[in-house]
Structure 1
Amino acid sequence: MIIDANILLYAVDESAADHPAARSFLEEHLNGDVRIGLPWQSAAAFLRIATHPRIMAAPLWGSEAAGFVDGWLSAPAAWMPDVTPASWSILRGLIEKHGVTGNLVPDAQLAALAVQYGVPVVSADSDFARFPEVTWLNPCTR
């Protein structure tokens, strides 16, 4: 599976309504038998948002946020999916097929990785429903 940044953020932000579900999901799967992909894009988005004082009420220090990413990547089931020329080809196809522009581009990047590696995307973002090629899982659904 490919993890979106919002799951990482909710897992860390105790004030988030989705914190318990995201944290539980992440902890369970990082120590499970199924590979859990933390793409470069998701790690960078987590760092950007978690340390941003205009977005987070209690932003993390850069080293603190990076420590979370290090911890996740050191888990038994974690992997960072490689971006290859095939990733671009798949992304290009998704952009064409679904008219992806603007803020949907990062979602399409994750969708392309999911297609490339044949795994679902895990996200609380309903925009992934736009990509029928991808299985979308939302662990925060009540």
Structure 2
Amino acid sequence: MKIVDANVLLYAVNSDVPQHRAAREWLDEALSGEETVGFSWIVLLAFLRISTHPGIFPRPLSQDTAFDTVEAWLSQPGAVLVEPTTRHAGVLRGLLGKAGTAGNLVNDAHLAATAAQHGAEVVSFDADFTRFDGVRVHKLG
């Protein structure tokens, strides 16, 4: 399973950024392929927050369009919602401790911990995921 990061989703819908094509192609291929694509609520909420925010997103989506986009992704046969397991707090604490920081890495560490618990790979444009020992990362771009 591959668990997608928020930046992949945001770049996939924002044709104004240089990462758009790579993000869109990866997401379209992944959702139509054989492998399971995992979506975490923390990522989907980040997508909804950023893609509809006029101060952050260059051409913000309407709330309905953003929700329709999320629902379209989740309706694909290979898409699943992934949740942390009961081991999450310990795994998260371990990842943050080994990375030597928390702060801005907390959400990334949460996603990395969720991926580790499910034996999944994180797909992202963000190199920060490589800071978490034992977490497999597919870096786009």
Aligned to 2:25: 24
Aligned to 2:42: 41
* Superposed displacement of residue 119, structure 1: 1.1
Aligned to 1:14: 15
Q: C-alpha separation between the residues in 1 aligned to 2:104 and 2:63?
A: 24
Aligned to 1:54: 55
Aligned to 1:135: 136
* Superposed displacement of residue 104, structure 1: 0.4
* Over 6 Å off, 4+ runs: none
* More moved, 82-91 vs 127-136: 82-91
- Which residue identity lines up with residue 21 of structure 1 in the other structure? A
Q: C-alpha separation between the residues in 2 aligned to 1:100 and 1:110?
A: 15
Kindly, what percent of the aligned residue pairs are identical? 46
Aligned to 2:70: 69
TM, length-normalised to structure 2 = 0.95
* More moved, 15-24 vs 80-89: 80-89
Aligned to 1:81: 82
Ranges in structure 2 where 5+ consecutive residues have no aligned partner = none
TM, length-normalised to structure 1 = 0.94
- Which residue identity lines up with residue 103 of structure 1 in the other structure? N
Q: C-alpha separation between the residues in 1 aligned to 2:101 and 2:123?
A: 19
Q: C-alpha separation between the residues in 2 aligned to 1:74 and 1:25?
A: 17
* Superposed displacement of residue 83, structure 1: 2.1
* Superposed displacement of residue 66, structure 1: 0.9
* Superposed displacement of residue 95, structure 1: 1.7
Q: C-alpha separation between the residues in 2 aligned to 1:93 and 1:103?
A: 16
Q: C-alpha separation between the residues in 1 aligned to 2:131 and 2:43?
A: 19
CA RMSD after TM alignment: 1.0
* Superposed displacement of residue 36, structure 1: 0.5
CA contact (8 A) 1:38 1:79 kept: yes
CA contact (8 A) 2:6 2:43 kept: yes
| Correspondence list, 1:107-122, <5 A | 107-122=108-123
- Which residue identity lines up with residue 30 of structure 1 in the other structure? L
- Which residue identity lines up with residue 15 of structure 1 in the other structure? D
Residue-pair matches, total: 140
* More moved, 43-52 vs 84-93: 84-93
Bigger fraction of residues in strand: 2
* Superposed displacement of residue 115, structure 1: 0.6
